[in-house]
Amino acid sequence: MGFHFTSLLLTLLLFSTLYSKSSSETFKCSTPSTCHSLIDYISPNTTTFSHIKTLFSVKNIRSILAANNLPLSTLPNTTIPANQTIKISFPCLCINNTGQSNNEPIYTVQKDDGLYHIAAEVFSGLVTYPEIAAANNIPDVNLIKVGQKLKIPLPCNCDDVDGVKVVHYGHVVKAGSSLELIAQEYGTSKDTLLKLNGVNDSSLLAGQLLDVPLQACNSSVRSDSVDYPLLVANNTYFFTANNCVKCTCNAANNWTLQCEASGIKPSKLVNLPRNAM
């Protein structure tokens, strides 16, 4: 009895040790909450906005355009060259000290897919295969079925940073970059990046995912709105009120969100937030 219990404990310990190693890129977040987050996707092959929309289960291509501050007139079939970085906007859920995308993207298993291929290649290493297995309660990583729907748990975070509300951005480190350069480019400090990610320049690796807090603009969307708190990252725009309102953030407006009617017809009738406009 005692022996069995001990070996069970050892097995569990070993299991969880291996587990935390393979999920070294998950972001910690301490406050249970939801928010929206951004993450870099670098397609290994030539791709299009339509394809990225499908891959990441994004409802509208305009949310991808908005996250990248691209014109709304950009065509869905526009070619995106291999290795170009595209930011994806997605809903984040912080629970149990981990931030993960909230039930999306959903990936449908194709013929000849394996979990490793899906994690490392299709989603370019933004997740690991044990993370996909854990998120979908898959006991045997070698057993997945064609047509099976898999939740892909993208890392994210909703925590305030130094008491300030931010939009967390999963940034893929480029070769030859440094914490100082990344901090400069995204308006944060080396110290903040160091603390959030537990990395320093000697441990920084190209291709690594870093939690980068982006300064955001604030809104007056009322607190019971589904989009509350509406934080829009520097140099991006965002649709709210069922797409009726387009809100833009840039530093030039003193971090005040600039909102206007988007001209997009709502897909269904909703009550507009009282003071969204």
| Contact residues for ligand NAG, defined by CB under 6 A | 44-45, 75, 77, 82-83, 95-96, 121-122, 164-165, 186-187, 200, 202-203, 215-216, 218, 234-235, 251, 254
The nearest distance, CB 82 to ligand NAG, in angstroms, is 4
Of all residues in this chain, which one has the CB nearest to ligand NAG in the complex? 187
Instruction: Name the DSSP letter for residue 265.
Output: P
The H or E element that residue 120 is part of is: none
The number of beta carbons lying within 10 Å of the beta carbon of residue 277 is 14
The nearest distance, CB 52 to ligand NAG, in angstroms, is 12
By beta-carbon proximity to ligand NAG, the closer residue of 203 and 271 is: 203
Residues facing 168 on adjacent strands: 213
Identity of the amino acid at 14: L
The nearest distance, CB 268 to ligand NAG, in angstroms, is 25
Distance of CA 153 to the CA centre of its chain: 9
By beta-carbon proximity to ligand NAG, the closer residue of 30 and 200 is: 200
By beta-carbon proximity to ligand NAG, the closer residue of 199 and 272 is: 199
By beta-carbon proximity to ligand NAG, the closer residue of 229 and 272 is: 229
The H or E element that residue 15 is part of is: helix 2-22
Identity of the amino acid at 26: T
Q: What token pair was written down for 173?
A: 């480190």
Three-class SS state of 184: helix
The nearest distance, CB 22 to ligand NAG, in angstroms, is 17
Q: How far is CA 85 from CA 187, 207, 240, in A?
A: 19, 12, 25
By beta-carbon proximity to ligand NAG, the closer residue of 16 and 45 is: 45
The nearest distance, CB 112 to ligand NAG, in angstroms, is 9
Q: How many Å apart are CA 19 and CA 126, to the nearest integer?
A: 16
